[in-house]
Amino acid sequence: MANRGRTGFIVAFLAPATILYLFFVAWPLLQAFRLSLFRWRGVSAKQTFVGFENFQKLSQDEIFFTALKNNLWMMAASFVALFTLGMLVAFALQGSGKGSAALRSVVLFPQVISLVVVAILWMFLYNPSYGLLTQGLKAMGVQGFLEPLGNRKQALPAVWMAFVWYALGFYAMLFSAGLKGIPEEISEAAELDGSTGIHRFLKITWPLLWSVKKVAAVYVVVNVMNMFALVYLMTQGGPDRSTEVMLTYLYEQAFKNSQFGYATALAVANFLVAMALAGTMMLVFRKNPETSR
């Protein structure tokens, strides 16, 4: 009877969340897969079943592959920047003085403002006439980065810099929490053994951040594959598709070209790529050095 009552309690406790998940996540996802098999303009109830025609078209779409390549480039660059800078800032945040508190406020500031504000702020910084960044570079005699959002080769790195600035605080706090979670006795033992500096970081600290690295890696994949607002507000995918990402191309197909069936196929492709990459990250960080599994 006790086990039956416990089971009933668990079912009653999980049922509301499960129902909400099925209604707001699982059902729309299934609907997206269904709509990707239809030709639909989105302005009428008429839907023409075309099977995998949308996906066949997708496999021959050069703009789709350009967008995917841009997503993957930003993901790889973000891994390097956010893991490196996030870890450095996390170490700086370990202190308890006023300097650490001030740094914490600075790195977390982008997280408390709207992404729209972030985009506008960086557009001002990049403005070739009065932008602080471009004018500062001009004052230093640098002439090659004075109109980044209008330059095909510089636009994507420029948007990526804005994204890293926006996301850094989250990853810094994530790594900071991981560092605080390392038992003090391990750090003390390492210090007694004479392990210091980079050796201590590589052999002790970095392996013990296993669970944090796993979460951070998956978040990088999810955040980059879901990137839309920042790119659309700053460049709308231009110039000449140089900053096009999967979701900006999806938006164009759905709301500018009225190709909702094809746009849904793009959404499905984006979902599958994100799931595959997130699964890869889970496999890469599957071994927990704390339990040797």
Q: Could you report the per-residue pLDDT of 37-56, keeping only the tens digit for each?
A: 999 988 788 889 999 999 99
Can you tell me which residue has the tokens 């636009």? 155
pLDDT category at 231 given cuts 50, 70, 90 is very high
What is the pLDDT at residue 245? 97
pLDDT category at 5 given cuts 50, 70, 90 is low
What does the block give as tokens for 192?
A: 């007694």
Q: Cis peptide before 239, with omega less than 30 degrees from 0?
A: yes
At 123-143, the pLDDT tens digits run 999 988 888 888 887 778 777
Torsions phi, psi for 54 (to 5 deg): -65, -40
pLDDT category at 272 given cuts 50, 70, 90 is very high
Does residue 67 register a pLDDT over 80? yes
At 95-132, the pLDDT tens digits run 777 777 788 888 888 988 999 999 999 999 998 888 88
What is the pLDDT at residue 207? 84
Q: CA 15 → CA 30, 85, 209, distances in Å?
A: 20, 41, 34
Does residue 83 register a pLDDT over 60? yes
Q: What angle do CA 198, 210, 200 make, to 5 degrees?
A: 20
Can you tell me which residue has the tokens 């959404």? 267
At 197-223, the pLDDT tens digits run 777 787 888 888 888 999 999 999 999
Dihedral (Cα; 268, 269, 272, 274), 10-degree rounding:
-110
CA 83/CA 220 separation, integer angstroms:
10
Are 82 and 220 spatial neighbours (Cβ–Cβ below 8 Å)? yes
Beta bridge partners of 121: none
Exposure of 153 by Cβ count < 10 A (0-12 exposed, 13-18 middle, 19+ buried)?
exposed
DSSP H or E stretch at residue 56? helix 53-59
pLDDT category at 288 given cuts 50, 70, 90 is low
What is the pLDDT at residue 2? 54
What is the pLDDT at residue 290? 56
pTM above threshold 0.75: yes
185 versus 234: which is more confidently predicted? Answer: 234
pLDDT category at 279 given cuts 50, 70, 90 is very high
Helix 260-284 to helix 27-35 angle, to the nearest 10 degrees?
A: 120
Residues in Cβ contact with 217 at an 8 Å cutoff, skipping those fewer than 6 apart: 79, 281, 284, 285
What is the pLDDT at residue 104? 82
Does residue 89 register a pLDDT over 80? yes
Q: In the predicted model, what is the mean pLDDT of the chain?
A: 88
pLDDT category at 284 given cuts 50, 70, 90 is confident
Instruction: Report helix, strand or coil for 293.
Output: coil
What is the pLDDT at residue 233? 95
Question: Closest Cα to residue 244, out of 61, 83, 53?
Answer: 61
What is the pLDDT at residue 202? 79
pLDDT category at 287 given cuts 50, 70, 90 is low
Question: Closest Cα to residue 267, out of 12, 70, 22, 28?
Answer: 28
Can you tell me which residue has the tokens 């600075």? 106
Does residue 8 register a pLDDT over 60? yes
Question: Closest Cα to residue 167, out of 219, 123, 225?
Answer: 219
